[in-house]
Amino acid sequence: MAAIDVEDVLSKLTNPQKISLLSGIDFWHTQAIPEHGIPSIRVTDGPNGVRGTRFFNGIPAACFPCGTALGATWDPALLREAGAVMGEESKAKGAHVILGPTINIQRSPLGGRGFESLSEDPVLAGVGAAGLVNGIQDTGIVACIKHFVCNDQEHERNAVDVIITNRAMREIYLLAFQIAVRDSKPGSFMTAYNKVNGTHVSENPKILKDILRGEWAWEGMTMSDWYGTYSTSEAINAGLDLEMPGPSRLRGGLLQGALASNKVTEHAITQRAREVLNLVNRCAASGIPENAEEGTRDTPETAALLKKISANSIVLLKNEGNVLPLKKNKSTLIVGPNAKIATYCGGGSASLLPYYAVTPYDGITALLEEGTEVKYTVGCYSHRELPLLGAQLTSEEGKPGMTFRAYNEPSSVTDRQPIDELTILRTSEFFIDYYKPAQALWYGTFSGTYEAEKDGDYEFGLAVYGAGKLYVNDELVVDNETTQTQGQAFFGSGTVEEKGTVKLVKGEKYNVRVEFASAPACKLVSDAVVVAAGGGIRIGGAWVIDAEEEIKNATALAKEVDQVIICAGLNLDWESEGYDRADMDLPGHMPALITALSAANPNTVVVMQSGTPVTLSPFLSNLPALLHAWYGGNETGNAIASVVFGETNPSAKLPLSWPVRLEDNPAYLNYRSERGRTLYGEDVYVGYRYYEAAKRDVAFAFGHGLSYTTFKFGEIKVELVDEELVVSLDVTNAGEVDGAEVVQVYVAQDSPSIRRPVKELKGFEKVFLAAGETKRVEVKVQVKYATSFWDEAREAWISEKGAYKVFASDSSQLVEGRYLEGGFEVAKTSWWNGI
């Protein structure tokens, strides 16, 4: 790909050619105009790894820890390293633009995509995002930051109108993006699905034109989220450059008609095309050829970095009696539904097929000394849909997975010939980008062999976007064709999971077969936005267990060993794009399991995995030790084991507050769409800002995180140097283990003219210290960012004259002996706009 002279090319393009540049040609590519030297560029998901162009049977990739895990590192330098590897992964996939990072604010624990975002706090989210963007763009790849703005729930996400004050928009939701623009200049922005105060963001001139390009002076290309363009003229006039995906639904001929009727001007179309061509030029510098072949780069260096990031994202929430780290030579029970399944990512467009995925069981057993007794039992189930069946089966070729064959004719045609044949390991496939069949209605057969591990009932599950029947040894077990019920699978297009049970005999081999028909065979009438002609299929299965008996069994085993590790939490069934969580509770019998095992063995550790908070109150007070491990990417199991056994000293901090109950959350009464709108009634009091103002207890405070060592803060010094607030202090590692501490700087105004939060995070610095070492830590913040709130009367930021307090702490919760206080004065009131 060669650079072009944008202005010269624009002068030669016809209006139809300019219009053709303003929408994609498929799910991942822009329009090329070869006669003018304009290549097609490729974009790719996403926030926690680079998938490439394929949902169906994708090429494996490096899966990074999820967004909240990245935020939990409180380490922009490490995130810059992560971004650089994402950039190199993007090159391997032949993609010029990464659709990420995601920095929407987690105003509620229920957000289906909460795991994708970095924090409830705009400073932590913005600074972290800047680290990722800088790392990505250091490699020549363009970052597309998203979802701009207030795309904070999945319920009616395309239709919902976010009703919000200008002050909350500025101080919380826009501020994260503003900081990212200030510190990293992302090359592209993706607009949100939702409306803000009556107008969809993708056609909102106040947000796209006045704020983003005007006030912030940002230069780059804007694109819609997929199917998030809702108008022709309005979106063009507001500043939305690229409609995705293609082929176009609202541009093309419609835009030519709008031009002819003067609903849009030629100048507006030219400006939109100019931004697309500027991005094309920027992408040309990456050296990635047009329509490059997709590949992999699974290197030891990538694996080492993924493990480092994952381990440094794990938060030590509780450690009474120094139960952790555990001993490698003690008899150990590993229990829980997340033990032998690698829960490495959340669901939806952030998910991908990893190079590999290490389970906690494999990571833990690899570090136990040879000969150490290890016991295992599942303890309880946590799945919402049955676990994917693929890895439990053997294909006809003798590989793990199922043999997939595609046909143009149904199974009733006896001599039909396959048009495609593959081995499928991950038995959840969305055929949105499967182009092998030449017709909309096609048919598929999935077949594999299962060897029963024990006698008993086995449950199979089948969800489809299309139609399907599941057979075991040619006997029908699940019929998801004759009658279908609308579900949430495949972004809301698919059915519920239908289930069936068969009795299996230990050691016997069984043929599991699914007969599938593509989307046109579906009986549902769905209003889902994301549709795929090929449809989708999800095949799951698991042993049927007696929950209470299994807890008794696990409890008995816990009494026989020195230490217990419970691998608990959620998975991509519960946290996914397309739907929000119904509650904050752990599924099924998990609280009962944790309660029983904590009582049975005093050396019980829970390793919790979720992207957002879960209810801990049923067992927290009696639980000795708790680690939160998020969704940790490829190296999930190795990272968990590294922290559990002390090879890594935990240094992560919570990037969001952890409420005791869902009802305590400030957005509790204002979450979900009601008659097409969501009121952001908590205003600026999101997360810790609310809990502190309302004096509401939390399970764990924002910024909380323990270590295997102890740290002490020396005397604080607060200075105003030119336009900067400089906070400096000595930090000492007073323990016997090397470790890292995060110095968090919060600012409070003494006598504001309006009600403000008790204090707000304004800066932070992570410092690594050897045992006994002392370092001087300095946190610098622009005074205007440290002091200002949004003055709605003046439509500007205001920094008021007066006194301000500064707190340097190890969390948002000010605990005696773990924070320092200082102050400074602002001499005169001033207003400002921009960045």
Q: Encode pLDDT of 9-50 as tens digits.
A: 999 999 999 999 999 999 999 999 999 999 999 999 988 999
Report the C-alpha dihedral over residues 697, 699, 700, 702, rounded to 10 degrees: -50
Strand order in the sheet with 142-148: 43-45, 97-99, 142-148, 188-191, 221-223
- When pLDDT is cut at 50, 70 and 90, the band that residue 433 belongs to is confident
139's tokens: 């490699």
Give me the percent of the chain exceeding a pLDDT of 90.
95
Dist CA 133 CA 686 (whole Å): 25
Nearest to 223 by CA among 422, 62, 404, 22: 22
State yes or no: pLDDT of 57 exceeds 90: no
Question: What angle separates helix 122-138 from helix 76-92, to the nearest 10 degrees?
Answer: 40
Res 531: pLDDT:
64
Res 65: pLDDT:
98
State yes or no: pLDDT of 98 exceeds 80: yes
**∠ Cα 462 467 469 (to 5°):** 50
Res 11: pLDDT:
97
Res 46: pLDDT:
85
Question: What angle separates helix 300-311 from helix 76-92, to the nearest 10 degrees?
Answer: 140
How far, CA to CA in Å, does 812 sit from each of 27, 405, 631, 746?
Answer: 43, 56, 24, 8
Q: Encode pLDDT of 650-667 as tens digits.
A: 999 999 999 999 999 999
**Residue for token digits 């068969």?**
502
Rounded to the nearest integer, the mean pLDDT of the chain is 96
State yes or no: pLDDT of 489 exceeds 90: no
Query: What is the average per-residue pLDDT within 526-541?
Result: 82
Q: Which residues pair with 604 in a beta bridge?
A: 564
State yes or no: pLDDT of 324 exceeds 90: yes
Active site residues: 225
Res 180: pLDDT:
98
Query: What is the average per-residue pLDDT within 536-540?
Result: 96
SS3 label, residue 698? strand
Query: What is the average per-residue pLDDT within 237-252?
Result: 97
Query: What is the average per-residue pLDDT within 424-430?
Result: 92
In this prediction the pTM is 0.97
Three-state secondary structure readout of 393-451: CECCCCCECEEEEEECCCCCCCCCCCCEEEEECCCEEEHHHCCCCCCCCCEEEEEEEEE
Q: Encode pLDDT of 678-692 as tens digits.
A: 999 999 999 999 999
State yes or no: pLDDT of 173 exceeds 70: yes
Give me the percent of the chain exceeding a pLDDT of 70.
99
State yes or no: pLDDT of 704 exceeds 70: yes
Task: Give Cα 380 to chain centroid, integer Å.
Answer: 26
Question: What is the full DSSP assignment across 228-268?
Answer: ----SHHHHHHT--BB-SSS-SSSTHHHHHHHHTTSS-HHH
State yes or no: pLDDT of 530 exceeds 70: no
SS3 label, residue 320? helix
Dist CA 534 CA 513 (whole Å): 19
Domain boundaries, the chain: 6-284, 384-544, 711-832
Q: Encode pLDDT of 740-765 as tens digits.
A: 999 999 999 999 999 999 999 999 99
State yes or no: pLDDT of 529 exceeds 70: no
Res 438: pLDDT:
86
Positive or negative: CA dihedral 271, 230, 281, 13: negative
Nearest to 123 by CA among 79, 169, 190, 71: 71
Query: What is the average per-residue pLDDT within 443-465?
Result: 97
Dist CA 447 CA 464 (whole Å): 16
State yes or no: pLDDT of 528 exceeds 70: no
CATH number of 384-544: 2.60.120.260
- Hey, what CATH class is 711-832 in? mainly beta
Res 47: pLDDT:
84
Name the CATH superfamily for 6-284. Answer: Glycoside hydrolase, family 3, N-terminal domain (3.20.20.300)
Q: Encode pLDDT of 380-417 as tens digits.
A: 999 999 999 998 999 999 999 999 999 999 999 999 99
Question: What is the full DSSP assignment across 464-492?
Answer: EESEEEEEETTEEEEEESSS--B-SHHHH
Nearest to 736 by CA among 694, 699, 772: 772
Res 548: pLDDT:
96
Strand order in the sheet with 625-628: 315-319, 625-628, 604-609, 563-569, 332-335, 374-377
Question: What is the full DSSP assignment across 189-235?
Answer: EEE-SSEETTEEGGG-HIIIIIIIIIIS---SEEEPPTT----SHHH
State yes or no: pLDDT of 354 exceeds 80: yes
- When pLDDT is cut at 50, 70 and 90, the band that residue 478 belongs to is very high
State yes or no: pLDDT of 198 exceeds 80: yes
